[in-house]
Structure formats: structure tokens, C-alpha cells
Structure 1
């Protein structure tokens, strides 16, 4: 009996000891666990984010460029192409897919899922991990890539737990989801859900369908592995897993799940880069504009420590005047016409037809100097020189064949892979004609479309604003405007088409100037100013500048925004000064805006990431001409499209016999509405211009080679009516096809009181009657 009691007592003591050990270990574990959390919170395992950083986590945000119709034209960023969206902009199917797949008990925990954590510990992660959405966000924002070192990995996990609980205290569940979707890198510069939905599906997040949201949520597991472009089958399987999870947790019915899983994965890939997309040339102009604005506008004191705004990191919003629809129309018109024009240029400039192709009428030494200059201005020369290479080594590299991708109109991607020397590639690119186009609303100065070249990736020189070329006959309206303004001429006044010379030393002319017409002939006829401008009669323009003088012409030109140095000599009347498309459109806009010059504007507002307005533009205007003079000029230039060099805008020449091929005239334009305009062609057909106006849109187009010696041999193809006018016509056809754009097809507004005669019919009839009387008197012997 005593032995039995002793045994029971011993067992009881042992049990008590075990119980003490158990609770000791248990509380020690809890204490250790607590201390780990405490040490992590104190930063023992590495720096922890402060309360301020938790409140304002620093993420690099791209600057977004917005069109006037609310579309994203592009972004400026270094590494992170991120534009955040609010939770309200996320579709419910995306949120449901995220919760069902990544954290089914998301709305039940406070940052740490206890059940998931125990499951992960017991089964060593074999039945799924335990990272909640909050923990994943903590890792993305503050912890970083998981270390391969086990101890560091454990401490990182503890830090995630601590930060996750802090995030849960600082933010709502909805805010955490939005932050997580905005931070994730989906590859291909798709940083955050906004970029991802645009790049992979070509739409805003709010427009994502359920199966598309499932693709993006599936990529959250590992966007490099689940890459829709490289591993579409794997991604589709992952998408279907996400859909199954949504059905499992009641977000979809089984029937919906089965229907969605049977759908083909439809990726609409739209890469976003600085060299691709819409309005590339305009975006590069805007980049220069913003860099200058940043220098002139210091940033308010902020916690990021930067004293100036950073257009690649600060998430600015730039509101522009560009209309994405009109921009697309402009780019399409340039591409369509230039492809055809280039084909004809290649046809006429084979080595047999032109031994010096792509140059015209140059000696071999002149060609060598052009190539030498191009070689020294090239990016290859600059880089090799910066690397310390000798000139001999650099020159040798230009004659060594290498693999490269070059521009090609005939390729579907407008690129082809080839092997050639860098020197040959320079000559190859000089064979391509370039183009520039800008379209502006004259009443506001808002620029609606901007095309600086044929392909930004391969031709980065912006001919809208960087290039300046001779204006040719597009300068003549300024001479006519001075004559009407200063001498009170009217479109109906007449001058003869005879040889006309301005003597030496008159108007600062060093020697006699006797301009010829483009055909080298003089008709001897009397021309109204309207008819003379329509047919670009040089002799009439020479008489006008002789009578009004070069100085008043230059004065008006400068008031029209053409501020380059211009010699005050008579020869400027035929367009010898150089201007760019930007300047010319602004100047012509004055005619359409009843004599008021409005400086072209491209940016209306800049906001920071919180919507605070940092910049708002103020219109720059100047009264240059009276309403009467401006309207008289419009009337003059309407003659260009009614009976002059722009008449082809009124006809359908397809199928008609013509000296031109379909490549040039085979477009069924058939415009019926009032159009004012002016074509321009420079010496040797080096430049072709067309300036076209309707009441609420002024558009300028230039076409030519990189070098003036690259041009068509004859004026048939080398004139502005053949090179530039078709681009304007194609562009306007597309604009008129979209009534939402509101492009005017009505009459130009005439002043209420018009003392300048613009109706030449009556005056012409009276002149005919006088001539008839003179003939009768001659017959009678008087």
C-alpha cells in the first residue's frame, strides 16, 4: 500500500514537473516570439519604416501625359512605369480574383493569417504559403527580395509580419489592395495594375473582363515565370486556377467558371516605351519642355529630400492640347502618303537613272563631304570618342559590316534585319524622304496633332520644331498681307505678268533682281492678286514687295511669330528664309483668327500626384492685322484651292489620264467645303509645303530630304502639291469622318463691315467691257 502511494506521489511529482516544463517552454516560446517581434520593431534585424514612411510609402511614379480627350499619350519614367489608381477604379472581378487566390481570409485577419501560418509550419509550406496580401505588400514596399540565407529569410519574414500589422492599422483593407495592385511589377514596363492592363489588354483597369483580371492575378505568383508572351499555355493554366479559386469561394458559379475557362486567352500587347506608341515626337518635345520647367520651378520642401521636381519619379500629370484621335489620323495620313511617295522616289533614283543617288546633281567631293559630316555627327562616333577610341579606330568601325535593324516601309513592322557597314547605313537612311505636320486650333492656339517625322525609332530629328527649311511660296501670303494692309490693295486689284526687275541698291538689294516664274515664262496677262497667289506668279509678288518694301513685310512676319533673322531684301518675297512647321502654323493661324496671333500652346496644366495644380498656361496673343485684312487674305488663299495649285483637293482624279501617277493624285479627295491654303516649293524641289485652313483648324505639312540635295529631279513629283498636300487631304478626310471632332466645314466668318473688295466678278466684267470698247475704238480707227 505504501509503495503504491509512493508511486502515485512520484507520478504526480513527475507530471507537475512536466507540466511546469511545458508551461515554461510555452511561455518561453511566447516570450521569444514576442521578443522577436519587439526586436524586429526596434530594428534589430534591419531598418524598419518609420510612421511617416508607413503613412507615405515612397514609390517611383511615372509622369503621365494626357490628351485633351482624356487618353494617356505616354509616360516619362526611368525604371518604374507606374501610374497609381484608386480602389474605386479597380473592377470587382479583379479584387475578387485577388482575394480568392492570394488571401481567402483577407477580410478576417489583421495582417497575419493564424490558420495559414500554422498550416505552413505544420506542413512546411507543402500545402501553400501563409503570406497575406498585407505581408506581400510589406515585402514589396519595405523588405525586398527574399534572401537565400535561412536566418535572414526568417528575420525578413518576421519583419513582414510586423510591418503587415502596422499597415493594417494605418490603412483600410481597400487601400491595402489598391497599394498592392499599384506596386507589383508585371514585366515589360508594366509597373502596377494600370500599366499592366494597358500593356497586356489595351484598356483601363475598370474595363477588364473577369478572365483578363484572372490572367493578371495569376501573374502575381511570379510574373517572370507566368509570362503571357513567352509561356501562353502556362499562363492560361494559371488563369484557369484563379477562376477555380473564385468559384471555390463563391465569387463565380461553376457554370460561369466553366464558360470562362473555355475561352481562349486574348492578349492585346501594347508595349509602352519612349520610342513607341502615339505622338512620340511630341512626347520628346514635351520632355524638353518639362526639363526646362523643372529648372524654373523649384519643388516645395518634401520628405523625399529633392529640391526639384523629377519628371521620372514624382508622378506628375501633364494635360496637353493634343487630341488622341486627331493625332492618330495625322500619323496615319503621314504614313500612308509617305510610303507611296518613297516608293516613287526609289523608282526614280536607281543607280542607273541617277548615278549619284540619293543626291541630285552633286560632284563626288560634295557627296564625300556630306557623308563625312554625317559620320562625325553620328551616335557611333560620339560614343566611341567618349570611350577614348582614336579617330583611326572610329573610322575603321564605319567600314566593318555588322548586323543591324533598319527602317523599311515595306515590312509589316517597318523594320528589317540586315548586314551592312555603318557608313552604308548612313547613305541608306539619306535615301528616305522626311515629313513634318502640325495642326492647331487658331482661336485658342491649342495644338491638336504633332508629327515630327516618319518613324521616331529610326528618325529622331523632330522636323516640326527642330528643323527649319526654306518656306518657298508659303511665304508669299505675308507679302500680300503687307500690301493689302499698307497700300490698301484688294484681292481684285491687277498686276501684269511681265518680266520685272528691282534695280540694284533699292531696298538694300546689292544687285539687280529679276525673278522668273517657275516655268521660266511670262504670259503678259493681267492677274488679279487672288489669281496671282493661286498660281504662284513670282513676277506679281516681286512687284508687290517692290511697292510695299521688304521692311513692312519683315515687321508683319515678326509679329506673326516668325522671329528668326530675316534679311530685309526683296528676294525674301519668294520664300528664301528658313522657318519650321511650328512657326508657320502659328503665323497662318492669325489669318483664320481674324488677325489675332495666338502663340501655339501644347501644355494647359501640370499637377502633382495629389492633384495640386503646379502650372496653368496663360494665352499669349497679339493683334497683328485688322479683321478686314485677315479676311481678305483668307479670300486670297481660298483661290489656291478653287483654281490654283491646290485645286486637286476638289477633284477625284482616280482613273483620269494624267501626267502624274496614282501614287500622287489617285486619292478621291472631292472636298466641297471652303478651304484656304497655299502650296510651296523651293529651289530644285528640295522642299514641298502645304498650309491648309478651315475656320477652326490650321495645319501645316512639310516634306523633303534630310539634305537639300536629296530631292526629286522634276517638279512633277517635287512640288508641294504632290509631296505635302496629299497628307493634309488624307488627314482632313479622316477628321471629317468623325463628327465628334467638330471640324468646321462651313464658311470663314467675314467682318460685319468689309471695305476691301473680295468679290472680283463685277470688277472683272467691267474690265472686259473696257477692253471690248478699246478694241471697238481700234477698229474705228481712233
Structure 2
């Protein structure tokens, strides 16, 4: 083009205008780029910054064998090393997101040219984007800021600068590792390992090609292609990824055909704080961790952050055993709840106006209305408004349009539970169920709830008696006694049936059949102070009532303390304190805290007493109040135990003791005004024992737990066998029957 033509064109105001506009745009973007480069729109990470990238990581909670059982996080992220990424996962990503990843230096000029020509000039929306894996990594690491109308341009320039710097610092393998550890997947999940665990319940290294394609495919739009919400759509996207892999030589045509015909099978496992396995346990561990982390600092002198520092918490829980325990609990509680409601029919206490009113007045909303000066009538009107509320049900949660009062009535009828299993030699907690549903009921019935323990306290009384010289075959009359110095208190036996006052039971039969009248007589004979002393030796630290009803379990204890006390019967007479955490590691695997079992140095009672008490509690299982473990559930394990039921059938208990596992279960209503309608339904043998029974049936069916299910109790000393060799019951002689009054009044001397 000659100079004359150039001058002629330059004189054309339109051409001149377009030229100047183009020059201005170019200069503008050059200026914008350099202003971004030098920090006018916020600091761009330097090479030094990028060399020491430390991402927020979830704290992992692991069971005794290292299985992941939960996390504490703001962003759900678990980092991996490159060697842990399967090749077909890498191939799926490269084929789908950045086929020239191993050729470019962070910016793919070929793709950018394609985008300019096809997408911008030819308006071909199917041509794809120009973003590379490295550019996406830059966005994942540092996010995007809002710069109004120039936001997209500023952010793209920033990402391109960061991408270039990343490529200078890191190898391609390291960039891929960083990418997979930071990329956001569906359901607020960050990083491939967290996504793999959540959607397929397996480690990334174990993903199949189909599963890898599912997860890579979801990156295009992680809500739209969420496999949990849109399985069909996710499968279609998977097939696109597989086709890309075949197109670029990462997958054979035959393999493509086979894999695309496979159905997608999810094994979804939520790590939501409120859901998943052992939520009550994870919450208890979190409480303890929070206190522990307040006492230690890192080598740099900084405090640890539970939600960001990627700690690894090793616990005592047995994940598989916990799953079986939860299954057993849900199976029994669903059936018991149905029977409980049916027993009351339409006259259930949860429909009682006074009871509902009392619960309404405990509500935070009620108190807020009161503080605002609303009248009682106005408050009731406000609470009577119906709203859509999600309600828990064993048949499946439902949404109903009901008022606050109706909602309270619904929840008042629900029975709750607690279950704890520990290794009696250490106190290591193996299973932990704090309630029927953590999402709905945050209240923990293991550590927070204190309930009357009923007849599960009787073994403490009998232990004190044997330890203080009472003969194992001593007999006591079943007859009722009125204790005049305790308001003429006259304890009766379960069911209130009239008994033959001349019938006498041995201590073994009295305990195994849970005879109330005899338990109080034993307490009277040994003395309350000695029983209280015995309870303390067995690890019960709470102040107990100094009264004869102590023998019947009026003391309120939490399930954890009761479990710890019972471990002494199979741990050389030494109680242990249940514990949850064995050690804590930092993100690099360095141990920052270790924890040892708390085992009493002193025996709570003699070996002789322990063996006698075990024989008593074996009899409870074999022929006493818990014999249905044998007759109905067919359990043949070596088991000792004790049932418990409290006044008005408010609480049902069962303690199951085997040589290597002690388990305590409780069932009741959170409202102390609501109990079971009948003793037959509410007694511990019916309400709490079946959870243990179903649990052990599951353990028996799994050879993994043979060390527990096939364990045998120690053989008792010959002296113990000899001292227990007596008839379980005997009648008074003719003369004694002739001159004994039917019902005695007696002053209680166990002060």
C-alpha cells in the first residue's frame, strides 16, 4: 500500500476514527494490564507468595483403624499427593478441560484464537472456552473480586498473570495436584478426595474410570450436574467426558462402549456436621478438641484452628461397630415408638393442654414475645399461626402445615435413647449414640442427660455388701417393710404383686430378679455410707442421695459415668473413664498431642467380690430379668448384665457386660412427665435391652468382631463356686411362719 493511498484513507474521517478507536482500545488494555500487574486493582500474588501456598484444610476425624468418620471445616477439603491421583482421572480432566495442558505455559494461545474466531466472530457457542487448567487453578486459589463493569476483564488479566507465575514455579504434575486439591465440586465440597469420599465413599485412588468421569464432568456446572440431585443429567455429562477421552486417545473405543453402558451407582456419604455416622460422637469430640487446642500451640507459636488447619484426630470409635449399633437402635426404636403411641391411643399425655403449655413457655420465641410486652392472648395467637414445618418420623421426615403448639405435641410423643459401648480394659469408646437423630435432637443423652438409673444401681449395693463381709448365699425375705423414720416409706416390688412374706431369696436370685424389697434390706444391713464409699471407688463422682431409696436407683447419673463404673467388673476390679481421642496430628502428620487411658490405680473391690458379682449378673441373663436375651434373641455369648426401670416407667435401662465390651443403653422420653403406660412396655428388659440384643446379633454375624463375641469370662475361683452353691430360695420354718407378722414396721438404721 503506497503512501498516497494511506494519506487518502487517513483523510476519511470514519477510517481515521476507527483506527484511533482501535489504538485507544489497545493502549487502554495495555494500560489496564500494567495497572493490574503493579497492584492498582489489589495485590497480585508474587512468586514468593505462590511458592508457599497453604490452603485451608478440613480437620479429619478418624476411627481406631484410620477410617474417616467425619470432618470439621468451613470448606470441605482434603489434599492429596500426585501419586494418589489415578491416571484415568488425570486423563479425564485434561481431555475435557485443557487438551493442550502439557504443551502451553499457562495460557493456551491456540484456544484463545479459536474462541476469538469461532465464538466472537462466528458466534459459534459450541466452540468451547479458552480457559486452561492453570487459569482455573488461579481462580480456585484466589477467587474473583467485583470491579463493576470491568470485573471480568480485570479478573481475567489477574488470573493470566498468576497462571504464568504458577507455571514458572511448579511442574505440570504439581499444578494438577494443586488443581485437584482446590477445585470446587457439588454440595459445597472442595478437592477431589472430599468429593470422592462424599459421592462414592472411597478414596480417590480407588475411583473407577466412570466415577472419575462423573466427578470431572460435574466441574462444568457443579449444581446442574450434581450426581446426587440429577443422576441422569450427571450420567449424560459423564458420557461426554468419556467421549472426549476416546477422542484424544486416552480411552479405547471398546472401553468407551463398555463404560457408557454402566449405570452410575452412588454411595453418598454426607460429612455434614449434623448428619452421617456418629454425629453425637463427633460433636463430643469437637467439644474436647476445642478445649485441648486452647492449651497447645504450633512450632511457630500460633494457635491451631480446628476448621482450617487440616488436623488429623485419631479416636477410639470403631466405625463398623458404630454402624451396626445405629442400625440396631433405629430398628428397635421405630417399633417401640409405634407400640408406645398405640398404647395411649388418643389419650396420650402429649395432648395434655397443661403439659403443652408448660413446654410452650420454655420456648425462646415465647420469651421474646413476653419481652416485647405482648399479652398472653397475643402470644398464643402468634404461636397458633400455621407454618410449613419439617417433622421427624421413623417412617420418613415429613413437612406439615402446623402451629408451634402442634409441633411441640408431635415431638413430646417421641421416645429418645442413649447407648455407649466401651473397651473395659482402657475405657476406649467403641460406639456412641447420643439420641435418635442429631439433626433434630442436639441434646446428648450420654454426657448431658442425667436420669434416675433404677435397678442398674443395685449391683453397687450388692458389691458393697459382699466386699464388707456379707455371705454370697445369705437369704432375705421378700416381705415388705415400712421404714418409720423415712415417712413410713414402704418399697414394693415391680408390678406391686403381693408376695409370700415367708419366702426368702438368696442374694443371687434377689439381684437377678431385681427384687426391690431385698435391695433395700441389703442396703440397710451394709449401711448407706459404705454403699456411697463403694460407688466412689467405682468411679461415680456425683454426690448421691443419702437415703434408703438409693438402693432402687433414685440417683441421677449420666450414661458415661454409669458405664465407667460397670467396667470394673471385667477389668480386674478397676474402673476406667470412657475416653474418645487417642492422638492429634498436624497436617504434616506430626503428633501434637497424645492421650492415655485413665484407669484407677486401686481396686474398687476384691477379686473375690468381682467374681461373685459376675456370677450374680450372669444369672440375670440366664434366668433373671434379662433372660429373653437367651430365650427370644438366641444369644449364646458369655454375657452378664442388669436391667433397670424407674418410678412410673419413666426410664428403661440395660447394662450388657461381655469380657471385652461393656454396653449401656437407656430409653425414655425427654419430658419427665411422660412415661410408658405399662411396666410391661417400659421395663428395661423391653425398652432398652432389645437394642443391645439386636446389636450383638449383628456383631455375631460378622467375624470381624470374634474377639468380642467369642470371648469368655474368667473361670471363678473354687471358693466362689463353693460359696455360691446354695438353693436360690427357701421358706421360713413352720414356727417362724407362725410367729412372724405379715408386714413389719422398722426403723431404717443405714444412716
TM-score norm. by structure 2 comes to: 0.87
Match of 1:60 among 44, 56, 59: 56
1:557 aligned to 2:535? yes
- 1:372 to 1:613, Cα distance in 2 relative to 1, 3 A: farther
- Confirm whether residue 339 of structure 1 aligns to residue 350 of structure 2: no
- Equivalent in the alignment of 1:429: 411
Offset at residue 8 of structure 1 (A): 12
SS in 2 for 1:140: helix
Aligned partner of 1:749 among 710, 714, 730: 714
Per the alignment, in what secondary structure is the counterpart of residue 108 of structure 1?
coil
Equivalent residues in 2 for 1:505-544, closer than 5 Å: 510-518=486-494, 519-523=496-500, 524-544=502-522
* CA distance in structure 1 between the partners assigned to 2:611 and 2:184 by the alignment: 57
CA distance in 2, matches of 1:332, 1:563: 32
CA contact (8 A) 2:617 2:642 kept: yes
In the other structure, the counterpart of 1:663 is none
Deviation of 1:62 after TM superposition, in Å, equals: 2.0
Query: For the residues of structure 2 that align with 1:525 and 1:541, how far apart are their CA atoms?
Result: 15
Report SS of the residue matched to 1:220: helix
8 A Cα contact 1:694 1:745, kept in partner: no
Task: Specify the SS of the correspondent of 1:139.
Answer: helix
Contact 2:426 2:598 in 1 (8 A): no
Indicate yes or no: 2:257 matched with 1:265. Answer: no
Q: Is the 8 A contact 1:676 1:694 kept in 2?
A: yes
* Distance of aligned partners of 1:395 and 1:615 in 2 relative to their CA distance in 1, 3 Å threshold: farther
**Mapped partners of 2:254, 2:428: distance in 1:** 52
Cα offset, 1:228, TM superposition: 3.1
In the other structure, the counterpart of 2:565 is: 587
Deviation at residue 124 of structure 1 after TM alignment: 5.0
One of 587, 610, 616 as aligned partner of 2:588: 610
Secondary structure of the corresponding residue to residue 374 of structure 1? helix
Distance apart, 1:457 and its partner CA: 2.1
Are the aligned partners of 1:143 and 1:159 in contact in 2 as well (CA < 8 Å)?
no
- In structure 2, the CA distance between the partners of 1:572 and 1:204, relative to structure 1 (3 Å rule), is same
Partner of 1:182: 181
> Aligned residue for 1:661?
none
- Note if 1:670 corresponds to 2:665: no
Distance 1:350 1:197 in 2: 47
Q: In the alignment, is residue 648 of structure 1 matched against residue 628 of structure 2? A: yes
Deviation of the 1:358 alpha carbon: 3.7
**Taking structure 1 as the reference length, what is the TM-score of the superposition?**
0.84
Determine if contact 2:650/2:674 at 8 Å carries over to the other structure.
yes
For residue 314 of structure 1, give the secondary structure of its aligned residue in structure 2: coil
Query: Who is 1:253 aligned against?
Result: 252
Partner of 1:401: 386
Measured against aligned partners, the alpha-carbon deviations of 1:332-360 in whole angstroms (never above 9, x if no partner) come to 11111111111111111112xx3x5348x
**What's the offset of the Cα at 1:204?**
2.3
1:472 corresponding residue in structure 2: 454
Q: Is the 8 A contact 1:594 1:631 kept in 2?
A: no
- Summarize the Cα distance change of 1:552–1:172 in structure 2 as closer, same or farther, 3 Å threshold: farther
The 5 A counterparts of 1:210-609 are 210-298=209-297, 301=300, 308-351=303-346, 354=347, 357-358=349-350, 368=354, 370-378=355-363, 380-381=365-366, 390=374, 392=376, 394-409=379-394, 411=395, 414-487=396-469, 489-502=470-483, 504=485, 510-518=486-494, 519-523=496-500, 524-609=502-587
What residue is the counterpart of 2:73 in the other structure? 77
After TM superposition, give the deviation of residue 272 of structure 1 in Å: 3.4
Which deviates more, 329-338 or 257-266?
257-266
What are the Cα deviations for residues 304-358 of structure 1, in whole angstroms up to 9, with x where unaligned?
xxx543322222222111111111111111111111111111111112xx3x534
Partner secondary structure for residue 318 of structure 1? strand
Please state how far the C-alpha of 1:382 moved relative to its aligned partner: 6.3
Find the partner of 1:689 among 653, 661, 673. 653
Change (3 A) 1:687 1:174: same
Give the aligned partner of residue 197 of structure 1: 196
2-structure distance, mates of 1:373, 1:286: 33
Give the conservation status (yes or no) of the 8 Å contact 2:417–2:435: yes
Q: 8 Å contact 2:654–2:684 — kept in the other structure? A: yes
CA distance in 2, matches of 1:8, 1:111: 41
CA root-mean-square deviation = 3.3
- 1:123-138 alignment, distance < 5 Å: 123=118, 127-138=127-138
Q: CA deviation at 1:606?
A: 1.7
Q: CA deviation at 1:218?
A: 1.4
SS at match of 1:105: coil
Question: Size of the alignment, in residue pairs?
Answer: 710
- Aligned pairs for 1:138-153 (under 5 A) are 138-144=138-144, 149=149, 151-153=150-152
Q: Which secondary structure state, in structure 1, belongs to the residue aligned with residue 575 of structure 2?
A: strand
Q: Which moved more, 1:288-297 or 1:209-218?
A: 288-297
Counterpart of 1:23 in structure 2 is none
Q: Structure 2: give runs of 5+ residues left out of the alignment.
A: 6-23, 738-751
Structure 1 pair 59–440 and aligned structure 2 pair: CA distance change class (3 A): same
Q: Report the Cα offset of residue 641 of structure 1.
A: 0.6
